[in-house]
Structures are given as structure tokens and as C-alpha cells.
Amino acid sequence: MKLYMHAAACSLSPHIICRELGLDIELVQVNRETHRTSDGQDFLAINGNGYVPALVLDDGKVLTEGPAIAQFLADSTPDGAAMLPPAGDFRRNEIQSYLNFITAELHKPMVLLFNPLYSSVHEEIRRLISKRLAWLNGRLAGPYLTGDAFTVADAYLFVCLNWSPWTGIDLKQWPTLHGFMARVAARPKVRQALQIEELEAFDADGVYFAPHAYLASAGRSGSPVRP
């Protein structure tokens, strides 16, 4: 399988899931400007929307949209039930509910904060995201979103919240969420994915990660890096 990705983007979520489940995956980088891929293809021919992640199976089938890819990966191996229980188990529906919440209520509005076209409504978007994060902060059922198990929704949440320093949202006001980030960042397979994408700790907390090249050129100043 090939996973088309950008470092530190939402594609890091399926990447983490692959590492956690020991799935054999080839990472293919996509150039944001030209849409050329590191394996020499036109990415627009793979995903006409031009965004990552896209998963290409060994038989050539293409799957797009992060939450769908996350579920496909977990369902593709018996070990995946730990990250997403099978149909009929209500925990699966709870995790799917979180996947939808993260994609609609956090991921998309957060991406708008990186786009200067929407700067006139950035304050309003920040307020809306903060409301959602306050709700989420009160919902964590254990070390992870739904309890003791690290699920596909946790991988996705970690990746979106990792953009916080660049969106002007201080996660420290929600200690439970901040603690969640530290816990996920300490997972050996998550560390492995971060290392492979050449992401380094952004601040002393060691909770947020950004591309090595970005940190070197920005002098860790905290100015925006696009997800």
C-alpha cells in the first residue's frame, strides 16, 4: 500500500495507525505546489481534490478521506480491532462519532486558520474551536478518548491538536487535552512515525511537532506552518 502524504499534515494520522498496527506502508510525498509525487506521478490523477491523505492499495484501488482510510486500515488486520472494534460493538460507533466530530468540528476549521483568505473571521473560528475543545476536554473517558485503548480517533485528534501552536489556540487551558497530547507523543510507534516524517519537538513541552526543515528556517519562532 502507498500512503500519499505531507509531513505533519492530517496524513500523519493514517501513518500513525499503520505504525501502531505494523502495516506495511510506503510513504509517498506530494508537492503542495506542483502536485507531483515523490514517485513521479500527478497527484491530481490519484485524488482530483488535490489533498492528502490518499491510500493506494496494491491492486490499484484508491481510497481518500482520512476517517475512511483510518477505518479501512484498522479493518484490514485482526490486530486492528484494538484501534477500532468490529461492527456490532457499540465502541466502534462511538469511535466513528469522534472521527466525524474531529473532521468536521476541528480539522476543517483549524485548516481555515492557516489560510489568510479567511483572516477576517479567524477570531470567530478560534472561538468556535475553543468551545468544541472545552467540550472535548470534559469528555475524555480515560487516558484516551474512549477509555484505555488508543484508537483511530485518538491518532486523528493528536494530529489535529498538534497544529495548535500555529493556530493561536493555547491547549494548556485544557489540562486534560494537554495531558492527552503528552501521552500520545510518548507512544513508541507514534514517535517512530514522527521520526520518519522528520518532525521534531517544537517547544520544551515536547508535545507539539513540526518539520525539521521548518523549525530550522523559522528559528522556532512559531509563525504559521501549513498543515
Ligand X SMILES: N[C@@H](CCC(=O)N[C@@H](CS)C(=O)NCC(=O)O)C(=O)O
Contact set with ligand X (CB under 6 A)? 6, 9-10, 32, 50-53, 65-66, 103, 111, 227
94 neighbors 142 (Cβ within 8 angstroms): no
Q: Which residue is nearest to ligand X (CB)?
A: 51
- Minimal distance in Å, beta carbon 11 to ligand X? 7
Shortest reach from residue 107's CB to ligand X, in Å = 6
86 or 163: whose CB is closer to ligand X?
163
Comparing CB distances to ligand X, the nearer of 103 and 151 is 103
Q: What is the CA radius of gyration of the chain?
A: 17
Nearest C-alpha neighbor of 190 from the set 5, 4, 21, 6: 21
The residue among 76 and 81 lying less far from ligand X, judged by its C-beta, is 76
Question: Is 110 strand, coil or helix?
Answer: helix
Cβ neighbors of 157 (< 8 A, separation 6 or more) are: 98, 102, 106, 136, 145, 180
* Minimum CB distance to ligand X, residue 142 (Å): 26
**Nearest distance, CB of residue 174 and ligand X, angstroms:** 22
Question: How many CB atoms are located within 10 Å of the residue 98 CB?
Answer: 21
Nearest to ligand X of 52, 136 (CB atom): 52
